[in-house]
């Protein structure tokens, strides 16, 4: 079996995990989405070891999920902060999905620490499945996985 660079195997999930699959990455992203953008703040709030944080941030910048944005507060030296790119912003559904699952299946004793609201009406926002024809998809039963154009056969099967 070839080296199987788990990040580039023929599967979008695996490739995604190659970008955001490391242990602290999601926690870092969670903070950046919250507006925490500076190294020391992220470090303090996630508790990630500095070295690891350095690595993760560098990797995320490398993958264009974050970009380093120089800024300077008046009377201060130039600094930089980490901001989401469009590619990074598109990870929001992943975070929301993780959040929703956690709220539901590993709830905190005193209730969720975070509500995600619709800005206009204040109602809670959640993820839903819908097909391109506009039908709501209520249960997993209603969806079917099909091989796409890039599908390659896989040897192991049992059915």
Partner DNA sequence: GGCGTGGGTCTGTCAAGCAGACCTAGCGTG
Partner DNA sequence: CACGCTAGGTCTGCTTGACAGACCCACGCC
Residues 90-149 that bind DNA (CB under 7 A): none
Give the rounded distance of the alpha carbon of 89 from its chain centre: 9
- 155 — phi, psi (to 5°)? -65, -45
Identify which of residues 79 and 115 has a Cβ nearer to DNA in the complex: 79
Told to check if 80 binds DNA by CB under 7 A, we report yes
Told to check if 24 binds DNA by CB under 7 A, we report yes
Minimum separation from the CB atom of position 71 to a copy of itself (A): 11
What is the DSSP secondary-structure string of 48-107?
Answer: --HHHHHHHHHHHHHTTSEEEEEE--TTS--EEEEEE-HHHHTTHHHHHHHHHHHHHHS-
Q: What is the DSSP letter of 155?
A: S
Quick one: what does residue 66 bind among DNA, a copy of itself, none, with the CB cut-off 5 to 8 Å set by partner type? Answer: none
Minimum separation from the CB atom of position 117 to a copy of itself (A): 5
Residues in contact with DNA by the rule CB under 7 A? 6, 22-24, 38-41, 47-52, 54-55, 57, 75-81
């Amino acid at each position: 079996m070839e080296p199987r660079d788990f990040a580039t195997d023929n599967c979008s999930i695996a490739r995604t995990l190659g970008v955001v699959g490391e242990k602290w990455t999601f926690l870092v992203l969670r903070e950046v989405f919250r507006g925490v953008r500076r190294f020391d703040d992220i470090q303090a709030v996630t508790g990630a070891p500095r070295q690891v944080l350095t690595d993760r941030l560098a990797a995320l910048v490398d993958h264009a999920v974050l970009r380093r944005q120089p800024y300077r507060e008046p009377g201060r030296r130039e600094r930089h902060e980490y901001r989401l790119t469009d590619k990074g912003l598109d990870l929001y559904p992943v975070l929301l999905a993780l959040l929703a699952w956690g709220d539901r299946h590993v709830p905190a004793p005193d209730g969720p620490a975070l509500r995600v609201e619709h800005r206009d009406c204040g109602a809670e926002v959640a993820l839903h499945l819908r097909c391109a024809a506009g039908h709501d998809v209520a249960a997993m039963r209603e969806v079917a996985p099909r091989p796409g154009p890039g599908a390659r056969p896989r040897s192991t099967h049992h059915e």
